[in-house]
Amino acid sequence: MREAVLYETETYLRQEFQVHGFYFGCDTKDAEDAACIVGSMRGNEYQQLYICSMLVQRLKEIESSGAIVGNNRILIVPSVNNSSMNVGKKFWVSDNSDINREFPGNYEGEPTSRLAANLFEKVQGYRYGIHFPSFYKKGDFIPHVRMPATGKESVSLANLFGLPYVVTSKPRNYDNKTLNYTWQTSGTDAFSVYSGETGHINEKLARQAVSSVLRFLTRMGIIKYNCHNGYIASIIEEEKMIEVQTDAAGFFRRKVEVSEEVSRGQLLGEILDPYEGDIISEIRSQTDGIVFFAKNQPVIMENTAAFQIIKKLHQ
């Protein structure tokens, strides 16, 4: 293993800001850039950083046993925004911007745009790119691999992670500034792996995410590693999921968990009056299916997506 500083800049905070990378495998001029793994870009992505730290630990062991194949090189970037994590902020400390909305970046731009440009210079050109982002909705969700439908995405390769679902989605306005999208359009097969947690560490889900990456690297001939085969993933288009919204605001009492099978009309949750405690609204499923996402906050607003349901195929 070789540790390197991929990017550094002066900061008005305690010390220089640095992004560290860890290289595994062949480190000579004829090395083949096989896989790049990027962790947290936001200050609340503790699970993502933790997963990458576990991968660094496991790849040290794999490398020392000679199980990285041929001249393959693997790069892990555990954290891209440790300054925000240190001070408890989600986005960039000075201007509240989101690094994962700045790619491919601008060397002469604002701080996060300069960071994105310099980072992408180091991570582009890899055959496979894996990013551990945080989910855009606050709540619990099923672990999955996700990719925007750019026309260059590879669902068959995403299946090789062995997670329960592969989700594709029509690119939204901001997707073309994300690392995944930029990787894809520059020739890298890119995958966003969502482990099911963000602001807290969940050991079970973290181990599942680590296994999924090692499984993928093994199946692509980059490392030799014995692991469970995982799931045969179901391919889901996000636009075909059923979104169940609220019709009132108040305390949120959830009745079901993610991965749970539900039927049409089943009670999914209740909304309570925050002053009097009465049930003022019931949230019921509009279809037979499986709960993919569920809100987990104590209060909920009106016209908010409380659940996403994967509709059963026969419907």
Looking up residue 78, the CATH number of its domain turns out to be 3.40.630.10
pLDDT score for 13:
57
Domain count, the chain: 2
Name the domain boundary from 199, 215, 236: 236
Range of the domain at 291: 241-311
- pLDDT confidence band for 79 (50 / 70 / 90): very high
Residues 57 and 128 in one domain: yes
Q: Which residues pair with 243 in a beta bridge?
A: 308
pLDDT score for 313:
64
What pLDDT digit, counting tens, does each position of 226-273 carry?
Answer: 888 889 899 999 999 999 999 999 999 999 999 999 999 999 999 999
Residues 47 and 164 in one domain: yes
Residues 209 and 170 in one domain: yes
Name the domain boundary from 236, 252, 276: 236
Tell me which residue of 134, 121, 97 sits closest to 19, measured CA to CA. 121
The interaxial angle of helices 203-219 and 46-64, nearest 10 deg, is 50
**Judging by DSSP bridges, how do beta strands 140-141 and 128-131 pair with one another?**
unpaired
- pLDDT confidence band for 123 (50 / 70 / 90): very high
Asked if pLDDT for residue 314 goes beyond 70, the answer is no
Task: Look up the CATH number of the domain holding residue 302.
Answer: 2.40.50.100
Instruction: Please give the average per-residue pLDDT across 88-106, as a whole number.
Output: 93
Contact 259/234 with Cβ under 8 angstroms? no
pLDDT score for 103:
96
Residues 266 and 230 in one domain: no
pLDDT score for 315:
46
Name the domain boundary from 236, 256, 283: 236
Task: Give the span between the Cα atoms of 104 and 106, in whole angstroms.
Answer: 7
Residues 222 and 245 in one domain: no
Residues 20 and 162 in one domain: yes
Residues 41 and 97 in one domain: yes
Residues 37 and 184 in one domain: yes
Tokens 């870009």 — which residue?
41
Q: Quote the mean pLDDT of the chain.
A: 93
Residues 264 and 121 in one domain: no
Q: Taking the C-alpha atoms of 34, 230, 211 and 128 in order, what is their torsion angle to the nearest 10 degrees?
A: 20
- pLDDT confidence band for 16 (50 / 70 / 90): confident
Residues 299 and 256 in one domain: yes
Residues 99 and 159 in one domain: yes
Residues 169 and 185 in one domain: yes
